[in-house]
Amino acid sequence: MILALSLVLPLLIGAALGLAGGIFGIGGGIIAIPVMTGLFGMDQKLAQGTALVMMVPNLSISLWRYTQRQPLPKLRTALLVLSAVTATTLTAHYASGLASSELRRYFGAFLLWLAIHSLWSLRAGRSRWSFSLPERLIPLVGLVGGTCQGLISIGGGMITPPILVTFFRQTQAMAQGFAIALVMPSSIVALLTFSKVGLVDWKMGVLFALGGALTVSYGVGIAHRLPERRLRVAFALMLLATALWMIFHG
């Protein structure tokens, strides 16, 4: 009974995380990490590495589903991804050497900032800056997203769309496609780096990944049917809840 529960519970949680990841356009790691630390008692760094095992296939499926609807320009995507992978490689090495308490502070503060920023944007409306940056600077967005991805295993896919929409005048759909493309290879690099230093629980990660793979496509479908404002509110509340969990229970 205990053995069956130890197998079924991660599968069910992975399925829920895959659905949420598909809805919010993320790999699910932002929710998986506090679940692993709070429910399964994992160390923060081990949870980060283990979450990446789930994120890589979830993101692969999301990218496949997304590009069926919104093809991405090859050159800009390649430059964005290259800069992100470079940043992820460097910062993942740094993250693996940080103290767990310090990493939790980074993680909680990062999520709290994202939640506040999202809610503020909803209140302010959809206004944009009166200028736009040249597209040749888009690789700099990859550096920012890749740094977040390497430092805390998540984040690149969440901060990339608002930067591209606000400063580069990209459409929301195109920006989300760029974000998924950015995060997937960066997640692979981060997973290899964390695995090299023994910070991955492969059994747990594979169970989460199997559950997520079954539901992520349904999440993508729900995201495309929801009104944009309702989806943005749900996203902001998810960030806020996760941030508070990490701050008070991390």
At 189-244, the pLDDT tens digits run 778 888 999 999 999 999 999 999 999 989 888 877 888 778 778 877 887 887 78
**Two structure tokens written together for 200:** 């991955």
At 57-116, the pLDDT tens digits run 999 998 888 788 778 888 888 989 999 888 877 887 776 666 556 666 777 787 788 778
Of the chain, the percentage scoring pLDDT greater than 70 comes to 86
Alpha helices in the chain (DSSP H): 2-24, 29-39, 44-69, 74-96, 100-124, 138-152, 156-168, 172-196, 202-225, 228-249
At 177-190, the pLDDT tens digits run 788 888 888 788 77
Interval 121-143 mean pLDDT = 75
pLDDT recorded at residue 130: 57
Residue 155 banded pLDDT, cuts 50, 70, 90? low
Residue 11 banded pLDDT, cuts 50, 70, 90? very high
pLDDT recorded at residue 54: 93
Alpha helices in 125-201 (DSSP H): 138-152, 156-168, 172-196
145 in Cβ contact with 82 (< 8 Å) = no
User: What is the domain extent for residue 154?
Assistant: 2-249
Residue identified by tokens 């690099």 is 189
Lowest mean pLDDT among 49-53, 118-122, 190-194, 215-219: 118-122
Helices 44-69 and 2-24: angle between axes, nearest 10 degrees: 50
Q: How many domains does the chain have?
A: 1
**Residue 119: is it exposed, middle or buried by C-beta count within 10 angstroms (0-12/13-18/19+)?**
middle
Interval 28-32 mean pLDDT = 80
Q: Let me know how long the chain is.
A: 250
Residue 248 banded pLDDT, cuts 50, 70, 90? confident
Of 248 and 59, which is predicted with more confidence?
Answer: 59
What 3-state DSSP class applies to 172? helix
Q: 241: which residues sit within 8 A by CB, 6+ positions away?
A: none
> Cα separation of 57 and 55, whole Å?
6
pLDDT recorded at residue 97: 65
At 205-217, the pLDDT tens digits run 999 999 999 999 8
- Checking if the pLDDT of 148 tops 80, the result is no
> Cα separation of 124 and 126, whole Å?
7
Closest CA to 111 of 18, 248, 238, 233: 238
> Which amino acid, 230?
R
- Checking if the pLDDT of 154 tops 70, the result is no
**Two structure tokens written together for 206:** 């594979």
- The number of beta carbons lying within 10 Å of the beta carbon of residue 227 is 8
Considering the entire predicted model, what is its pTM? 0.77
- Checking if the pLDDT of 7 tops 70, the result is yes
